[in-house]
Amino acid sequence: MVGIEVVSTARTRLVKGLASAIYGRGVLILGQILTVPILITRWGADGYGEWLSLTALTAYLTYTNVGVPGTVRSDMAMADGRGDRVAVRESFQTCFALVCCAAAIIGAGFFAAVHLLPMNSILNTGVSTPNEVVLILSVLAIQIIVYTAGNVLQAALSALGHYGRASFIDATRQLFEFSGLIISVGALNAKPEHAAFIYLFTSGVYFLSMLVSLYRVAPDLFVGIYLRIAVIERLWRPMLGVLSMSLGYYGMAVQAPRIILAIVLGPSAVALYSVTGMLMRIVRIPIDIPAHSATVELSMAMGRGDLDAARGFLTATTRFCLWLAIALIPIVVLCGPTIVTIWTAGRITPSLSLLLIVSLSTVLFSLALPSQEALMSINRLDRATFWLVAMSAPYVGICILMAHAFGLNGVAAAVLILDIFYAALTLIWISKYFDISIAKLFMALRYPPTDIIDTEARALLKKFSAAIRAISTRNR
């Protein structure tokens, strides 16, 4: 009975988390679909490209969290799975204090660099004045620091089994952010510096909402002072692992190409590359949902020592993500040029070669993402991601050379090389920590997950039939 109760509770949490994740990804898809044509029409391709390069530069400030949110989520979830409430409190308070200190130090250094360096010359900005560039970067820096602090609160709320609520709050923040952009830029013709203030305001509301929600769910986390050096000693390697993933993969695959293109080819190239990437990220959103939804359950399963359940979650999510990508990619490659042309009101049309290269990256990403989430769920991401940081310097050099030689296609090809390396690393290390053979995993991935879908469909049909019978019985 206990086993059945655990499975039922996990399924309930997964369903709620999945519903919130679908809501969040739906907001993200709708927001990007609506904001891109408005921003590119009002600001032009160059102005929009400048905005993307500026946000890419400030996005590196998200690494002020030192990899804490993902690490503290996994650590708190495993401790809560063991019933060790003191360890939960120690992890939360210590890690939150660490993020605040790191954000203050790194933020101060960024502000100094923004005011001392000629950022407009470095990023080839021609639409925004130097003073406007400094203002935009300063406001976005504050916004990201506030948002990062809120992410730690979101991680804590998710770790305690309320990841559905945490995802809902974050998605609502995005909804207000996109709505503010659409209204201010589309109706009021606002400039990029005004958009930066909208980002700051929504992040402040997000932080306060997370703080209130976490206090209502777990007020004991805020009682007493539980700052422990032992927590940092235990978690510093996992923190560096998550930080390495941010710097070595997401930073190099998403943010670095924008900055390199701004320096080498100018802001219009940034707009073309980024809009193409956004189309592929919209495709990746359904792929993200099952992988992210299973992370906390993986942590809890490993905390209970249930390796079979953890392997089951891993195999099912990998299989689902990979085949979903395989189903979506051909449609996007064939229809992509037309979609982007209509989407940007005729201002941007990507080539088929660029779409094909980025699509191959998406397939590799779908294969590696569940393994990345699984490694993060047990705080064992460090071994794999240190290699990503080690190759960051040569990767940037290759990316710059390929941008000069082949333009947008060269940058996309450099990212594809990074994705191949990323997929290989995550699969190698997941086979070690989850005691699962890569060959067996690939054997399980050979066919679409129709058995999983059929099982869930049969379960839903049984519940529906039972409900109909109950209603019929009451009517009689």
Mean of pLDDT values over 278-305: 76
pLDDT digits (tens, 9 = 90+) for 52-84: 888 888 877 776 666 778 788 888 888 887 888
Q: What average pLDDT does the segment 280-290 reach?
A: 79
Higher pLDDT, 310 or 471: 310
User: pTM value?
Assistant: 0.74
- Give me the residue spans of the domains in the chain: 20-227, 236-456
CB 340 within 8 A of CB 350: yes
Give the pLDDT mean for 132-142: 91
pLDDT band at 197 (very low <50, low <70, confident <90, very high): very high
Q: Given pLDDT bands bounded at 50, 70 and 90, which one contains residue 2?
A: very low
Predicted confidence band of residue 3 (pLDDT cuts 50, 70, 90): very low
- The answer on pLDDT for 384 being more than 70 is yes
Per-residue pLDDT at 278: 84
Task: Assess whether pLDDT exceeds 60 at residue 451.
Answer: no
Q: Mean of the pLDDT values across residues 307-317?
A: 82
Q: Report the pLDDT averaged over residues 8-20.
A: 59
* pLDDT tens for each residue of 398-413: 999 999 999 999 999 9
Residue-wise pLDDT for 86-133, tens only, equals 888 998 999 899 888 888 888 888 888 888 888 888 888 878 888 899
pLDDT band for position 475 (cuts 50, 70, 90):
very low
Rounded to the nearest integer, the mean pLDDT of the chain is 82
pLDDT band at 214 (very low <50, low <70, confident <90, very high): very high
- Categorize the per-residue pLDDT at 18 as very low, low, confident or very high, splitting at 50, 70 and 90: low
